[in-house]
Chain A
C-alpha cells in the first residue's frame, strides 16, 4: 500500500513537471558540469545566461495568453515583433534617444500592437481548428511584408539608412542613440564576478506578475475556461470569440514590447529576415518549461526560458571545446528546439478544441 502511494506520488510529480522538462534539465546539468571540468569561465557563462534569460523572457511570456485562450502557442510572434521594430525605428526617426526612445517606442508599440492584435485575433476566429498552421504562415508573411516597408519608408535619419540608396539598414546600432543596454544597466551590479542585469530582470518579472494577476481577474478566468473547454464556457454564457481576440491582443503587445527589451539588451535592432524564426525558440522555451499546446502558466515561462537559454549559452563554448571547428552547438540547438515543438504538437489531442 505504502509502495503504491509512493509510486503514485512519483508519477504525479513526473506528470506535473513533465518529461521534456526533466530531460532538458538533466542535459543542462551535464553541460554545466562539463563546462566546469573544461575550465571554462563560469562567472561569464552565468552572467550571459542571466542576460539572455531576461532579454528573451517577454517573448516567451507572449505565449501564455494565446495558449490559455485555446489558440495554441503564438507562432505568429513576428506580428508582434514587427510592431515593436516599427516603433523603435519611428522613435529613432523622430529623434528620441536613451530612455526617451525606449518610452516612446513602448507606448507607440502598444498602440500599434493593440490594433494589429485585434485584426490577428479576428483572423484566428475565422480559422478555428487550424490556428497553429495559420499563425505560422501569418508570421512568415508579415516578415516579408515588413521587409518591403523597411525598404520603402521615407525615413531620413542617418543612423538607420544605407550609405547609398534608400531604405533602412539590416542592423541598426542602438549605442548611437544611447539605448544600448539601457535597461540592463539600471541598478546593475556585480556579485562574485557575476553581472546581474537588474533593470532587465525587474521589467521581465514585473510583466510576469502582471500576466499572473490578469489570469486571476474575471476576464482572465473566462479566457482560461474558454481555452480549456469552449462548450463548457459557452454554456456559462461566455463570449469565446471576444476572449480569444483579447488574449491575442495581449500576446501581440507582449511580442512588441519583448523585441524592444531584446533589442536594447542585444545592442542592435535587426530588421528584414531577423524576426522570421523568432517564434520557434520562444515556443520551444515555454514547452520545455512544462507547458503544452493547450496549457501554460507563468511558472512554465520562468523555468522554460531559463533552461532553454541557459543550455545554449553554456553548450556553445562546451561544444566548441570538445568538437573544435564544428558548428555542433547550433545544430544541437535546432534539433532540440524543433524536436520539442514536434513533441508538443504530437501531444495535442484531436477534437479538444
Chain B
C-alpha cells in the first residue's frame, strides 16, 4: 500500500512579495493518513488552497512548483478541476442545507435522474429524480462510515457530529475519490464524536484513499496519522513517521526558533499590586468566545495573551472594553468595573487598541487629528472650549497635541489633516496607539498590534510599547497571535485554550511548552500545575 498517490513538489507562493510558502515537498501514499500541523499562518491553508485551485491563488499570481497525481503532473486551475481529479475536502463549517434530507444533501448537484416527457422537450434539468438509486448510494456511503442513521432523515436538528459525517459521506460518494482533506474536523466535536470520526477516517484510509489531516490537536495526530509534516512560517520543517516522534518534538518544531526580536532586560519594577482582577469571565464574541476565565494582571507589567485563533484570546480585551457582551467579575484598581459599558471602561482609565484596525480602530475617512483626540474629547472632555453650556472643539489644542503625537510616535504623514485611511498599515496602527495614549490610560489593552504591518514598523510598535511600560510604568495587556512578539517584550505570557487560561509561562520557557499548551494537550497537566501555583 505504499503506492504514491499525490506529490507536491517545490511548492512556493508569495502574496505581493510576502513569502507565505517556500519550497514545500510533500508526498502522500495510497491509504496513508498524513497529518499537517503548524501554527496559524504557517501556510497550511495556502497549501490547501493551491491543491484545490482556489481563485485566491490564481488571482494573486499563481504559485511555483508542480503537483503530481499518481505520477502524472496535473494543472489544477479551478476547484472543479480538483474535484474531477478526485480531491475532496471536508470543511470545518458544515455546508449542508438543513431543510433537505441526508440523501438530498449527499447527492446535491450530482442527482441521479430519469428522463420523462417534459424533460424530453425542455431538457435535462427537468428530469425526474431517481430517489431509489440515490437513497441506495447514500446508504452505501453511510455504511462505509458505520452510520446507522436513516438516509431519509432531515438534516435540521441532527447533532453536530452527525453533520460532520454527512459531509464526509458526500465526499466519499463522489466516484473516483482519491484524496480527502480534513481541515480541523474535530474542532466542534465532543470526545466520543471525535473518536468515532477518527475511526471512520482510519476505515477510509484502509479503502485506499489518501488522507490529509489538518489539526491543532497533537494527541489526535499521534493517534491517527502515519506520517506528520510540520510547517512553520511557510517553511517545510520536517516530515516524520509518527511512530518515531512524540507530541513534545512536534510542538517544539511547530514553534521553533524564530528570527528573534532581542529582549532587553527590564529596568522598572513590577509591583505586587493587582491592577486588574478577572474572575469567571464570559464573553460572547463570535469565533473568539471566552468561557469562564480567571486572570490577574499586576501593576506595571506587560502581560502577553497568546493562543491559537478561535480559542478566545481576542475576546478578553473586547469583553473588558464592553464591545462584545460580557459576564463575570472584573475589578480594576480595587473597584468593580461595570461591564458592557464602553464609556465606563474608558472613563475608569482603560484604553484599547483594537485588533480590527479598519473596522473599529479608525475612522478611515477622517483626519489623523480627529482620530487621535476623538475618544479623549468625548469621554474625558479634553480638547474642548466651553462657551456657556456649549462645548466647542479646541482646534488649536487639537493641532498642537496631534503634532506632538506625530513626532513622538514617528507617524509618517503629510499633515495632521491627512485621512487615516490613506496611511500605511504601520502608521495607521500608530494613530490607533496615539488615540489610546491621548486618553492617558492606567492600563492599555493592545490586540494584534503588529497584524498586517511590515517588519520595520513592527519593531517600532513593540519598542514603543516597551518604552511606555518602562518610562511611564504603564500596565500593558498585549494580545497577539505571534508568539515571538509576545516573548520579545512580555513579562509573562498567558496561553488561552478553549476560552480559558491553559497556563502561564515566562517568556524564556522552552518552545515545546508553548507548543503543547497552545494545542491544549492535556497530557502535560503536571506542567500546568507548577506554573499556576
By the criterion CB–CB under 8 Å, are B379 and A237 in contact? yes
Residue A133 is within 8 A (CB to CB) of chain B in the complex:
no
Q: For residue B354, which residues in chain A have a CB less than 8 angstroms away from its CB?
A: 235
Within 8 A of B (CB), among A12-40: none
Within 8 A of A (CB), among B330-361: 341-347, 352, 354, 356, 359-361
Residue B453 is within 8 A (CB to CB) of chain A in the complex:
no
- Bound together, the chains give a CA A219 to CA B393 distance in angstroms of 10
Residue A206 is within 8 A (CB to CB) of chain B in the complex:
no
A13 CB, nearest partner CB in chain B, Å: 16
Using known A-B contacts A218-B381, A234-B342, determine if residue A225 contacts B352 with beta carbons closer than 8 Å: no
Q: For residue B346, which residues in chain A have a CB less than 8 angstroms away from its CB?
A: 236-237
By the criterion CB–CB under 8 Å, are B393 and A216 in contact? yes
Residue A153 is within 8 A (CB to CB) of chain B in the complex:
no
- Bound together, the chains give a CA A237 to CA B321 distance in angstroms of 9
By the criterion CB–CB under 8 Å, are B323 and A236 in contact? no
By the criterion CB–CB under 8 Å, are B378 and A236 in contact? yes
Q: For residue A216, which residues in chain B have a CB less than 8 angstroms away from its CB?
A: 392-393
Residue B143 is within 8 A (CB to CB) of chain A in the complex:
no
Within 8 A of B (CB), among A175-232: 213, 216-219, 221-222, 225, 228-229, 231-232
By the criterion CB–CB under 8 Å, are B375 and A236 in contact? yes
Minimum CB distance partner of A228 in chain B: B363
By the criterion CB–CB under 8 Å, are A218 and B377 in contact? yes
By the criterion CB–CB under 8 Å, are A235 and B360 in contact? yes
Residue A238 is within 8 A (CB to CB) of chain B in the complex:
yes
Q: Considering residues A219, A236, A237, A239, which has the most beta carbons from chain B within 10 angstroms of its beta carbon? A: A236
Residue B374 is within 8 A (CB to CB) of chain A in the complex:
yes
Residue B282 is within 8 A (CB to CB) of chain A in the complex:
no
A154 CB, nearest partner CB in chain B, Å: 41
By the criterion CB–CB under 8 Å, are B392 and A213 in contact? yes
Within 8 A of B (CB), among A228-257: 228-229, 231-232, 234-239
Q: Which of B322, B347, B361, B384 is the one whose CB lies under 8 Å from A232?
A: B361
Q: Which of B341, B374, B391 is the one whose CB lies under 8 Å from A236?
A: B374
Residue B362 is within 8 A (CB to CB) of chain A in the complex:
yes
By the criterion CB–CB under 8 Å, are B384 and A235 in contact? no
Q: For residue B352, which residues in chain A have a CB less than 8 angstroms away from its CB?
A: 235
Residue B366 is within 8 A (CB to CB) of chain A in the complex:
yes
- Grouping DSSP codes into helix (H, G, I), strand (E, B) and loop, the B interface class, with mixed when no group exceeds half, is mixed
- Bound together, the chains give a CA A221 to CA B378 distance in angstroms of 9
Q: For residue B1, which residues in chain A have a CB less than 8 angstroms away from its CB?
A: none
Q: For residue B323, which residues in chain A have a CB less than 8 angstroms away from its CB?
A: 234-235
- Bound together, the chains give a CA A33 to CA B304 distance in angstroms of 70
Residue B531 is within 8 A (CB to CB) of chain A in the complex:
no
- Bound together, the chains give a CA A234 to CA B323 distance in angstroms of 7
B122 CB, nearest partner CB in chain A, Å: 36
Q: Which of A213, A218, A222, A228 is the one whose CB lies under 8 Å from B366?
A: A228
Number of A-B contacts (CB under 8 A): 68
B-side interface size class: 20 to 34
- Bound together, the chains give a CA A222 to CA B373 distance in angstroms of 12
Q: Considering residues A216, A219, A235, which has the most beta carbons from chain B within 10 angstroms of its beta carbon? A: A235
Q: For residue B381, which residues in chain A have a CB less than 8 angstroms away from its CB?
A: 218
Q: Which of A225, A228, A232, A237 is the one whose CB lies under 8 Å from B360?
A: A232
Q: For residue B341, which residues in chain A have a CB less than 8 angstroms away from its CB?
A: 237
Q: For residue A225, which residues in chain B have a CB less than 8 angstroms away from its CB?
A: 363, 366, 374
Within 8 A of A (CB), among B358-407: 359-366, 370, 374-375, 377-379, 381, 384, 390-393
Minimum CB distance partner of A294 in chain B: B365
A83 CB, nearest partner CB in chain B, Å: 25
- Bound together, the chains give a CA A221 to CA B381 distance in angstroms of 12
B83 CB, nearest partner CB in chain A, Å: 31
Q: For residue A219, which residues in chain B have a CB less than 8 angstroms away from its CB?
A: 391
Using known A-B contacts A228-B363, A237-B375, A237-B378, determine if residue A217 contacts B391 with beta carbons closer than 8 Å: yes
Q: For residue A213, which residues in chain B have a CB less than 8 angstroms away from its CB?
A: 392
By the criterion CB–CB under 8 Å, are B384 and A218 in contact? yes
Q: For residue A237, which residues in chain B have a CB less than 8 angstroms away from its CB?
A: 322, 341-347, 375, 378-379
By the criterion CB–CB under 8 Å, are B390 and A235 in contact? no
By the criterion CB–CB under 8 Å, are B378 and A231 in contact? no
Q: Which of A221, A229, A231, A232 is the one whose CB lies under 8 Å from B393?
A: A221
- Bound together, the chains give a CA A219 to CA B366 distance in angstroms of 17
Minimum CB distance partner of B375 in chain A: A236
B6 CB, nearest partner CB in chain A, Å: 39
- Bound together, the chains give a CA A209 to CA B333 distance in angstroms of 45
Q: For residue B347, which residues in chain A have a CB less than 8 angstroms away from its CB?
A: 237
Q: For residue B363, which residues in chain A have a CB less than 8 angstroms away from its CB?
A: 225, 228-229, 232
- Bound together, the chains give a CA A139 to CA B61 distance in angstroms of 52
Using known A-B contacts A234-B342, A237-B345, A237-B346, determine if residue A228 contacts B377 with beta carbons closer than 8 Å: no
- Bound together, the chains give a CA A232 to CA B420 distance in angstroms of 13
- Bound together, the chains give a CA A235 to CA B321 distance in angstroms of 7
Within 8 A of B (CB), among A280-318: 295
| A162-184 to B contact mask, C-beta < 8 Å, 1/0 | 00000000000000000000000
- Bound together, the chains give a CA A219 to CA B390 distance in angstroms of 9
By the criterion CB–CB under 8 Å, are A231 and B360 in contact? yes
- Bound together, the chains give a CA A232 to CA B421 distance in angstroms of 14
Q: For residue A222, which residues in chain B have a CB less than 8 angstroms away from its CB?
A: 378
By the criterion CB–CB under 8 Å, are A221 and B342 in contact? no
Question: 6 A-B Cβ contacts within 8 A?
Answer: A217-B392, A218-B392, A225-B366, A225-B374, A232-B361, A237-B347
Q: Using a CB–CB distance below 8 Å, which chain A residues touch chain B?
A: 213, 216-219, 221-222, 225, 228-229, 231-232, 234-239, 295
Query: What 4 A-B pairs are tightest by C-beta distance, nearest first?
Result: A237-B343, A236-B375, A237-B342, A218-B391
Known: A216-B392, A221-B374, A236-B375. 7 other contacts (CB 8 A): A221-B377, A225-B363, A229-B364, A234-B323, A235-B342, A235-B361, A236-B346
